[in-house]
A and B are shown apart, each in its own frame.
Chain A
């Protein structure tokens, strides 16, 4: 497939005539005039002359008809290439570099276009699981807003589209200049990359231009952990907890289950320590891990703390105090002197010493089987303290592993960008090449990077989009997607994966390594060859093929290091940190916490519609971020709980107007702002969505800062939440409190050990007649383990990708018309809104045997198949919506408007006036799933296309389908393996094993006898018996 940009310069190396070559005015006129000279005179001749001219004209008109059409090569498909069956999906392994961690991916490709990204089952990080970002990354390949050409913007001039050739020739001349000073005035600003090829190219770059500067900046990174390990061990290390081995987990402000590049691994390991019944063997657990969370924002991880007593909501600045108090408590209980803790302040509000004592006892009872974790937003000193405590508790090497950090000498990111800006200000940099990233948008606000950048005479930005930074650079270079280019990536333990392209760059972009090769005029320019050179493997070798097939290169993983910490140094450094806690918070001194968004991360996914419309797992917000404020603080500020107000957040002379969201479980006087929104040049999807938290964030306080004030404005704002949070009222809350125990069964591990059913009695309702027996063939069913589910929403994005689920835009979400086939319901529970617990429940079509949707459809468009699937016949559906009205689970989705054509902005224009689906977007669609037209109902099908494909394969091979052979997209994505699918008639299948458990239940089955095929395993908690359970309180969705 040739690149789409045919935007070649007209002044090419060929010319039509010497006049054109010399560009004479006569020739210009000749080209521009519609009629040549003397054309008017032709009409003045006599009849004879006229006929002559006419005859000649006719003849020439015939010639004129022989216009040259663009050359298209048609290659007859006479011989099918090997392994290329039209319409048959093929899968390739590749790797995605995200936040400096390489994830192993398995990409499904149909007819040469990648349509779905999943975790590589053989990769040690993913093991088949994936996260929201990986799932959504395929959409970016087909994003029409991606930049299509090289763009040049001379200082003060208008940007013009130009070509790679133009940049190459410019650079050739420019490089000669730079080389004279050995690149002293050249600086590179790069993103974090785990790629060995990037590292190799960087080495070559520094050989070629030894004086050039290389900076690395990421707005969100694990720098604090690096510096913390440097403090504790003398060298920066990567901290990788092995959660599967841990019985007691204590997280200090780390949303490790969802918010980290390694979350896929953490989620799986965490769930493994909580799963009560192993689906494969049916073995029942004898122990279960226990999670304590100390945090400054109600995170997904916090929602899995055993109960409100196991979660300490404290301001970010107080978290080191809690850690210090815990350390002191551990010492008091006899843990060998770990670190000289300076004088400790009183426990912050919300933390009782008794609770910390119980926690310390729990840790000591599980020496070597517990783990303490510190979040990336916490200062290095805390990370050092945690490392020391982990070592003292014998966890190092058991539940915590350390790996050498890449590029140990580099300064932390915030320092790097500060140095770079300073150098620009001092006019030491005349050429700046920015490889990825978007520093104009996300550099600390006090640096005013945009202004500094304007002072650089030559700047080039390699980026996927013409974003905020590109608009301020003299050159913009389009970057290709990771599915379009050769590359490589290392995962947490150094294991190398090769990123192989699935499609030629659609817009002619180039990868980072190719640009680096261009910059230093490396003789090897091709990404494919660069990767081979770096890895030292030739494409002809068996090792290369095996690495591509496996998705990783064998024998490249490191073994973990087990260093011992130097404790005394840390104690002294903790002093000032703990002193900060003395500063009391209040309405005139609020704390501001910045964290990467769970959907758009640092803003890089802002133009991805799947992620923008994904409900944020905790707030259920789509298409926006908000300032999270606790109910009490909100009341003190005078926020009306029934309205969304715009508030003015002021800190250190900066101000931001942002919508306020009242979040239960948020610590008092702490306001959390998710970064990554409020972009101005993200693209058609991401422009002007949400509020830009970077405008407040300074280099001195990258993650949290005190001294903020809030003014409530009279302006209101509409937040599109997929779960109501205003109009519930007292009556609604009471009803929710009464109903949720039915919908989400819960219990404790101790109770389960005593009574396996957790009080659940199967089938209370009795049918009046003999129900149909589904006792032949395959009978599909699913088990959802609520204990394992972390609510990360990877399944939701996976379902979108697999089933061509459209996005509908903020206005439609506000109206309640989101289209997700699977949703993660979120309910709060607790004695009061300040210390709630939270449960997540994935809900998709239950595939009821007694489906209420079926008898009411007047045209029989939905019906139960012999294998128990509740099927939809789109062609027959006329859209009475009766099925959805009668569905007790409300899992059916209706195409109220034509969501699959035009744009989100012209949804309300009559169909005949709207464009059909964008050709490029259409390339992502899964050809095995129908695109639904407007007026048609749709819903989860258990990925019937996968069931059918497996059935055909099994029938051709004359065998039964094996358990695990079919995995719906949601279950495939799930990193925690909380969704299990299979044949419930086969007693040995994993799903049957789980559904056989006496605690397994069908939602509303006891009341309505719907006989759902999807059953749930209760949410089981494992609270510390030494911590009294909080009084039972009402549940509420807010």
Chain B
């Protein structure tokens, strides 16, 4: 079926969030046949023209991407001084953006790996594009540490590679751990995402018409024929990658947090940082998946596959993680007071009452207060509440990284060295540009890749529940 999205295919948008005892919840609404699922997903890529909104979004994203490229080139040719970094705020926007994007990446992995291991069936509707956000966010995250160094042309010295001089990096340095963690994460995420996509790419290949599409999808689907042996190996690979990815969900942000926790700066030198960063990361990831899922299901008519139940679940997880983050905020204040260390105490007072007080209160509001709206079902299910809440959470998490990195550094030990940090327009442009990169990749993905995991969704249709499968599920 290669027709455009037509009115005859009206998604239903049913409320399937109710839980009834002893009954599997309905996870696919509308005409739940195998054919219908395939059609719904494939017609997005097969439509000759994308919706007009896609072109508008793409134009904006490409403009931002161009800005990103230009500003990075300028920074590399001129020096990192084009940003607002100074002494004592040696790390500025690039590191904030790095930590932020790594955090964004976490939700996808959490959904596709941890929920897979926990056999949460509802994840099938959203896992594919959640994984896509992971991959694209990691791409954005990976750029920043490389351009942030003073001599980016030597950024590869961060990596432990054999060389004729026998120079190895310093294995004590958290930045090296970072490079390894993010590198591993990027590799596993891409593998996991791509492996999962192979059967669906084969479906697209089989349905493709013309000359180019079959060739491209044919190449991408790696000769998938759907044999039992292939399915067997595919499932095994998925499980192995899921286990690896699960470790990474917990490991990567913990590693990133050691950049701060291993140092001596007051409000950085804390053992709570690994769980703190992981909770914050997954939280921000859920928020952005929610913020993307809401328009995506509207835009591409996927309401039957990404149902209200999915949004509901995402919002609940965001609430859980947001509450954890709020708890950690509060416990940090308590510990700072309890430590008796005047520098530590001052650092936390400075968060809320120093010159950046509005950011200190801003994160408490965005991450602590706003997410609590998701206690209410109405808020979880109404897009015009859920979407702004999700966006505020994402903004709050970016601000949190600003507070942790910049507000801690701008007043550390010696008061003579205190100095304010003011971002330049290049800082802000580069941040905006990274969103351009992310959305460009995401929009391309939406248009040309199977946005929903067709084969996995089919497996949770009622008619797929064979006795074996049911037995398997009830383990």
| Stretch in contact with the other chain, from B308-316, B391-399, B416-424, B451-459 | B416-424
Most buried by B among A724, A880, A892: A880
Is B263 an interface residue when CB atoms closer than 8 A count as contact?
yes
B148-189 vs A, Cβ < 8 Å mask (1 yes, 0 no): 111110110110000000011110111110010000000000
- A interface residues, tally (CB under 8 Å): 67
Contact A878 B158 (CB under 8 A): yes
Give the residues in chain A near B349, CB-CB below 8 Å.
731, 735
Nearest CB in chain A: distance from B369 CB, A: 23
The answer to whether the Cβ of A898 comes within 8 Å of any Cβ in the partner chain is yes
CB distance from B238 to the nearest CB of A (A): 34
Task: Find chain B residues with CB under 8 A from A878 CB.
Answer: 149-151, 154-155, 157-158
- The reply to whether A855 and B173 form a contact with Cβ atoms under 8 Å apart is yes
B88: chain A residues within 8 A (beta carbon): 816, 884-885, 890
Q: Which of A825, A841, A855 contacts B172 (CB 8 A)?
A: A855
Judged by a CB distance under 8 angstroms, whether A707 is at the interface is no
Task: Please measure, in the bound complex, the distance between the C-alpha atom of A739 and the C-alpha atom of B263, giving whole angstroms.
Answer: 20
Cβ-defined contact, B355 with A729, below 8 A: yes
Kindly identify which residue among B86, B91, B167, B409 contacts A817, using a CB–CB cutoff of 8 Å.
Answer: B86
Given A859-B169, A878-B149: A889 touches B157 (CB 8 Å cut-off) = no
Residue ID in chain B nearest A862 by CB atoms: B170
Taking a contact as CB atoms under 8 Å apart, the answer to whether B413 and A856 are in contact is no
* A910 CA / B413 CA spacing, docked (Å): 35
Residues of A within 8 A of B263 (CB): 852, 856, 882, 885-886
B470, CB-defined interface residue at 8 Å: no
| Interface-lining segment among B24-32, B75-83, B329-337, B442-450 | B75-83
Given A859-B170, A860-B169, A880-B175, decide whether A885 and B91 contact each other with a Cβ distance below 8 A. Answer: yes
Contact B157 A859 (CB under 8 A): yes
* Chain A residue, CB-CB nearest to B346: A735
> Which of B150, B341, B416 is in CB contact (< 8 Å) with A879?
B150
Interface centre among A728, A812, A858, A886 (most CB of B within 10 A): A858
Chain B residues lying within 8 Å of A743, measured Cβ to Cβ, are: 414
State in angstroms the CA–CA spacing of A896 and B92 once bound together: 12
Interface residues of A in 867-900 (CB under 8 A from B): 876-882, 884-886, 888-890, 892-898
Task: Judge if B430 is at the interface, Cβ distance under 8 Å.
Answer: no
The answer, among A876, A894, A911, for a CB contact under 8 Å with B78, is: A911
A929 beta carbon closer than 8 Å to chain B? no
CB closest residue in chain A, given B73: A910
B158: which A residues are within 8 A, CB to CB?
Answer: 858-859, 878, 880
Contacts of B425 in A (CB 8 A): none
Q: Is A857 an interface residue (CB 8 A)?
A: yes
Complex CA–CA separation, A881 to B80 (angstroms)? 11
Q: Which residues of the partner chain B approach A732 to less than 8 Å between Cβ atoms?
A: 350, 354, 411, 415, 418
Q: Decide: A897 and B87 in contact? CB cutoff 8 A.
A: no
Cβ of A876: which chain B residues have Cβ within 8 Å of it? 157, 167
Q: Is the interface of B mostly helix, strand, loop or mixed?
A: loop
Chain B residue nearest in CB terms to A1003:
B414
Q: Which of B150, B353, B418 meets A881, CB within 8 Å?
A: B150
Interface size for B (C-beta < 8 A) is 60
- What's the minimum C-beta distance from A445 to chain B, rounded to whole angstroms? 38
- Quick check: is B85 within 8 A (CB to CB) of the other chain? yes
CA distance A743 to B412 in the complex (A): 13
Give the one of B154, B172, B415 with max A CB within 10 A.
B415
A857 partner residues in chain B, CB cutoff 8 A: 170, 173
Q: How far is the CA of A890 from the CA of B350 in the complex (A)?
A: 19
Q: Is A894 in contact with B87, judged by CB distance below 8 angstroms?
A: yes
**In the complex, chain B residues whose CB is within 8 Å of the CB of A728:** 415, 418
For A852, the closest partner residue in chain B by CB is B264
A935 within 8 A of B: yes
Residue A364 interfacial (CB < 8 Å): no
A855 neighbours in B (Cβ, 8 Å): 170, 172-173, 262
**CB 8 Å contact bits of A814-855 with B (1 = contact, 0 = none):** 011110000101110000000000000101000000001001
Task: Say whether B85 contacts A896, CB under 8 Å.
Answer: yes
Quote the shortest CB–CB distance from A503 to chain B (angstroms). Answer: 33
B415 pairs with A735, CB closer than 8 A: yes
Say yes or no: A723-B413 contact (C-beta < 8 A), given A858-B170, A879-B150, A897-B79: no
Query: Contacts A856-B263, A896-B85, A908-B82: A727 and B150 contacting too (C-beta < 8 A)?
Result: no
Pair B415/A815 contact, Cβ less than 8 Å: no
Across the interface, do A882 and B414 meet the contact criterion of CB distance under 8 Å?
no
Contact, CB under 8 Å: B342 / A735: yes
Say if the beta carbon of B343 comes within 8 Å of chain A.
yes
A172 close to B (CB within 8 Å): no
The answer to whether A731 and B91 touch across the interface, beta carbons within 8 angstroms, is no
Question: CB < 8 Å: which of B86, B179, B265, B413 contacts A858?
Answer: B179
Interface contact A935-B79, CB-CB below 8 Å = yes
Complex Cα distance, B272 from A1003, in Å, reads 28
A856 to B341, CA, bound (A): 23
A912 interface residue per 8 A CB criterion: yes
Question: CB distance A1004 to B413 under 8 Å?
Answer: yes
Q: Are B150 and A936 in contact (CB under 8 A)?
A: yes
A857 CA to B174 CA, complexed, in Å: 8
Do A1037 and B415 have beta carbons less than 8 Å apart?
A: yes
Least distance between B196 CB and chain A CB atoms (Å): 33
User: Does chain B have a CB within 8 A of A199?
Assistant: no
User: A743 to B413, alpha carbons, bound, how many Å?
Assistant: 9
Determine whether the beta carbon of B87 is less than 8 Å from that of A884.
yes
A880 and B414 form a contact (CB under 8 A): no
Assess whether B343 is in contact with A739, with CB atoms less than 8 Å apart.
yes
Report the separation of the CA atoms of residues A952 and B415 in the bound assembly, to the nearest whole angstrom: 40
Does B415 lie within 8 Å of A935, measured CB to CB?
Answer: no
* Residue of A with least CB distance to B264: A852
Most chain B CB inside 10 Å of its own CB: which residue of A728, A857, A885: A885
- Tell me whether A907 is interfacial, beta carbon within 8 Å: yes
Task: Report whether B417 and A890 are in contact in the complex, using a CB–CB cutoff of 8 Å.
Answer: yes
Contact with B along A700-730 (1 / 0, CB 8 A): 0000000000000000000000011001110
User: Which of the residues A738, A826, A882, A898 comes within 8 Å of B173, measured between beta carbons?
Assistant: A882
Residue pair A823, B416 in contact (C-beta under 8 Å): yes
CA distance A855 to B84 in the complex (A): 26
Is residue B231 contacting chain A, with contact meaning CB distance below 8 A? no
Q: How far is the CA of A886 from the CA of B152 in the complex (A)?
A: 21
- Answer whether residue B90 sits at the interface, using C-beta atoms and an 8 A cutoff: yes
Is there contact, CB below 8 Å, between A860 and B170?
yes
Instruction: Give Cα A1004 to B342, complex, Å.
Output: 12
Residues of A within 8 A of B354 (CB): 729, 731-732
Interface assignment of A1008: CB less than 8 Å from any CB of chain B: yes
Q: Determine if A736 is an interface residue (Cβ-Cβ < 8 Å).
A: yes
| Residue B327 at the chain A interface, CB threshold 8 Å | no
Q: Which of B79, B87, B341 contacts A934 (CB 8 A)?
A: B79
Known: A858-B158, A911-B77. A935 touches B169 (CB 8 A): no
* Given A731-B354, A816-B419, CB of A879 within 8 Å of CB of B343: no
Q: Is A865 an interface residue (CB 8 A)?
A: no
Let me know if B55 is at the binding interface, CB within 8 A: no
CB of A909 within 8 A of chain B? yes
- Which of B86, B167, B420 has the most CB atoms of chain A within a 10 A radius of its CB? B86
Q: What residues of A have a CB within 8 angstroms of the CB of B91 in the complex?
A: 881, 885
Evaluate contact between A890 and B353: CB separation under 8 angstroms: no
Interface 1/0s, chain A 1004-1015, versus B by CB < 8 A? 100110000000
Q: Is A740 an interface residue (CB 8 A)?
A: yes
In the assembled complex, the Cα of A727 lies from the Cα of B155 at a distance in Å of 36
CB atoms of A889 and B151 under 8 A apart: no
Determine the chain B residues whose CB is within 8 A of the CB of A886 once the complex forms: 263-265
Residues from chain A with Cβ under 8 Å of B415 in the complex: 728, 732, 735-736, 739-740, 827, 1037
Residue numbers in B under 8 Å from A860 (CB-CB)? 168-170
Name the 4 nearest CB pairs between A and B, nearest first.
Answer: A879-B150, A935-B150, A896-B81, A816-B86
Q: List 10 A-B contacts (CB under 8 A).
A: A732-B411, A735-B350, A739-B346, A815-B84, A818-B87, A843-B414, A855-B172, A881-B150, A896-B80, A935-B79
9 additional contacts (CB under 8 A) given A735-B415, A896-B150: A739-B342, A815-B86, A816-B88, A816-B89, A878-B157, A879-B150, A882-B173, A885-B409, A889-B413
